[in-house]
Amino acid sequence: MLFFSFFKTLTNQTVTIELKNDIRIRGILKSVDQYLNIKLDDIEVLDLDKYPHLSSVKSMFIRGSVVRYVMLPRSEVDVGLLEDATRRGE
């Protein structure tokens, strides 16, 4: 539940998500569930030239299993707290 707990704190922050098919999407994280499925609003696809079919997409639901990276705003992460939360796991 750590990651779920963690990502919950990032709601309404702008994150960049890189999918396993190399598509990178920047958008506002609207919600996340325990499978780390992600809902993004106001999205913007980086390298839009390569994925023109996404040019009119405004929001997305991303299945958690296809996410490779989530790039976060550093200021929104409380590292110490996160460390402690990690220590609590189990």
- Judged by the rule CB under 8 A, the positions of this chain that interact with other proteins are 1-2, 4-6, 8-9, 34-35, 78, 80-85, 87-88, 90
Report which of 61, 28, 64 is spatially closest to residue 43, judged by C-alpha positions: 28
Side-chain-side CA neighbours of residue 26 (13 Å):
8
Tokens describing residue 37:
């499925």
Looking at the Cβ atoms of 22 and 83, the one nearer to other proteins is 83
To other proteins, the closest distance from the beta carbon of 87 in angstroms equals 6
Looking at the Cβ atoms of 49 and 90, the one nearer to other proteins is 90
**Taken in order 80, 1, 65, 36, is the CA torsion positive or negative?**
negative
Looking at the Cβ atoms of 1 and 55, the one nearer to other proteins is 1
To other proteins, the closest distance from the beta carbon of 52 in angstroms equals 36
* CA distance linking residue 47 with residue 63, whole number of Å: 21
To other proteins, the closest distance from the beta carbon of 42 in angstroms equals 19
